[in-house]
Amino acid sequence: MNKKASIDFNQMPDAHGHFGPYGGRFVSETLIYALDELESIYRSLKDDPEFQAQFDYDLAHYVGRPSPLYFAERWTRETGGAKLFLKREDLNHTGAHKINNTIGQALLAKHTGKQRVIAETGAGQHGVATATVAARLGLECHVFMGEEDIQRQSLNVYRMKLLGATVVPVTSGSRTLKDAMNEALRDWVTNVDDTFYIIGTCAGPHPYPELVRNFQSVIGREARQQSLAQTGKLPDALVACVGGGSNAIGLFHPFLADESVAMYGVEAGGFGLGTGKHAAPLNDGIPGVLHGNRTYLMEDENGQIIETHSISAGLDYPGVGPEHAWLKDIGRVKYVAIDDDEAMDAFRHLTRIEGIMPALESSHAIAYAEKLARQMDPDQTIVVNLSGRGDKDILTVAEIDGITL
């Protein structure tokens, strides 16, 4: 734990994209060129004031940032304990944090002059956010989505189509998010000359984990300022759900050097950690190599990636961003799990007492924050990332209730 004090979190990853033993660029030779090209474009624009100004402008006027930091007074009172604040990423255009990253990557794409963007999607939120920016910039957009997820998220599939995107069903492997990512990588390597791959989370080969984190860090920067302005101090704890982990790293990163701020990443416990049917590699997986990076994975004894389970499609992924793997090992962030039932309870509870319907992904963070708050004092504060709104999940919830809409 003492190591932490001397770490400059802004200097991570290293030049080859490593966060300690994690991250890196584990891809076929055929993909290296595309990644080198992306890295060099990103390096040239990252600190370019004009690029940054365009990004900020789009976030303010198109996305609607800053998103509010909302003191959930009734939720706090009924929970008892620390004050609970919600970082309202659900109020962003398209209803989740995903758009912060797609705005950033679309600006990179525009700079390359490539006319076609591709994306992978699980729940469909990243697909919608990509289709949205593609529509705005007049780019051709192909979204790869597992056949299984297309069934589960029909509403988002139709949204993407309305936005002009082509949704490509993925029928290989387990037909979910991980296979959609495989297919997007295959498309990219084949069409690299005219195609930009917009990855939706802080995983994948270097430089994706770094650039997605940097685009999403606007969440944490705002939350930091808003906490100081509203409470006169930094929060005592941060809570965010972790699938690939982009909303969590976006909230956490600007606070990593603030030792007084405790951080909790909440993975999908599915049917329970003991059952093996979950999506919690940081809690119950081991390090391995998938999708271009070394990180914690859900795999069998032969090193094959196994199918995961979560009630929330957006957390249903067998890996996790490599920076989270590293933050776990150095002890800076604690990773916990919330199961399907606890997440459902939190979904219903927040909806009824605050009039805010959280995405099932974010409901995992809500459920854990409630447990945490009870163990803390009333003068302490917790910021929970409400990463997306729950409208997209209404069909899933209705089905659980035995209702056909």
Partner 1 sequence: MNRIKQRFEVLKQQGRKALIPYIVLGDPAADVTLPVMHALVEQGADILELGVPFSDPTAEGPVIQKAHERALAHGSSLRDALTLVKQFRETNAATPVILMGYANPIERLGYQHFIELALDAGIDGVLTVDLPPEEAGEFNQQLGEAGIENIFLLAPTSSDKRQKMVAEMAGGFIYYVSLKGVTGAGNLDVVSVKQHVDHIRTLTDLPVCVGFGIKDGASARAVADLSDGVVVGSVLVSKMAELAACGEASPRAFSQAVSSLVAEMRDALDN
Catalytic residues: 98, 120, 387
User: Applying CB under 8 A, which part among 105-113, 233-241, 293-301, 382-390 lies near partner 1?
Assistant: 293-301
Nearer to partner 1, 194 or 258 (CB): 194
Tokens 């002890």 found at: 331
CB atoms under 10 Å from CB of 8, counted, come to: 8
Q: Which of residues 16-35 bind partner 1 (CB under 8 A)?
A: 16, 24-30, 32-34
* 304 near partner 1, judged by CB under 8 A: yes
* 185 near partner 1, judged by CB under 8 A: yes
Binder to partner 1 among 303, 348, 374, 391 (CB under 8 A)?
Answer: 303
How many residues belong to the site for partner 1 (CB under 8 A)?
Answer: 37
- Smallest CA-to-CA distance from 345 within 59, 27, 79 is with 79
Q: At closest approach, how far in Å is the CB of 30 from partner 1?
A: 4
Nearer to partner 1, 169 or 287 (CB): 287
* 141 near partner 1, judged by CB under 8 A: no
Helix, strand or coil, per DSSP, at residue 199: coil
Provide Rg for the chain, Cα atoms. Answer: 19
Distance CA 74, CA 84 (A): 9
* 57 near partner 1, judged by CB under 8 A: no
Q: At closest approach, how far in Å is the CB of 200 from partner 1?
A: 16
Instruction: Report the Cα–Cα distance between both ends of the chain, in Å, rounded.
Output: 51
Q: Which of residues 160-179 bind partner 1 (CB under 8 A)?
A: 172-173, 178-179
Binder to partner 1 among 117, 129, 189, 350 (CB under 8 A)?
Answer: 189
Nearer to partner 1, 90 or 183 (CB): 183
* 190 near partner 1, judged by CB under 8 A: yes
DSSP H or E run through 286: strand 286-290
Q: At closest approach, how far in Å is the CB of 318 from partner 1?
A: 9
Beta strands 83-88 and 381-386: pairing type? parallel
Binder to partner 1 among 107, 163, 165, 192 (CB under 8 A)?
Answer: 192
**CB half-sphere exposure, 45, CA atoms < 13 A:** 24
Biggest alpha carbon–alpha carbon distance for the chain? 56
Nearer to partner 1, 322 or 390 (CB): 322
Nearer to partner 1, 121 or 247 (CB): 121
* 338 near partner 1, judged by CB under 8 A: no
* 119 near partner 1, judged by CB under 8 A: no
Instruction: Assess contact for 339 and 266: CB atoms under 8 A.
Output: no
Q: Could you give the angle at the alpha carbon of 133 between the alpha carbons of 132 and 135, nearest 5°? A: 65
Report the amino acid identity of residue 387. Answer: S
CB atoms under 10 Å from CB of 49, counted, come to: 7
Q: At closest approach, how far in Å is the CB of 54 from partner 1?
A: 29
* 199 near partner 1, judged by CB under 8 A: no
Q: At closest approach, how far in Å is the CB of 126 from partner 1?
A: 19
Binder to partner 1 among 8, 301, 355, 405 (CB under 8 A)?
Answer: 301
Nearer to partner 1, 304 or 375 (CB): 304
- Smallest CA-to-CA distance from 19 within 315, 293, 318 is with 293
* 325 near partner 1, judged by CB under 8 A: no
Residue 188 CA, chain-centre distance (Å), reads 21
Distance CA 374, CA 392 (A): 30
Token pair in block for residue 218 = 């606007």
DSSP 64: -
* 112 near partner 1, judged by CB under 8 A: no
Token pair in block for residue 253 = 């990163």
Nearer to partner 1, 181 or 350 (CB): 181
**CB half-sphere exposure, 327, CA atoms < 13 A:** 26
Please report, as ranges, the residues that interact with partner 1 according to CB under 8 A.
16, 24-30, 32-34, 36, 172-173, 178-179, 182, 185-186, 189-190, 192-193, 287-292, 297, 299, 301-306
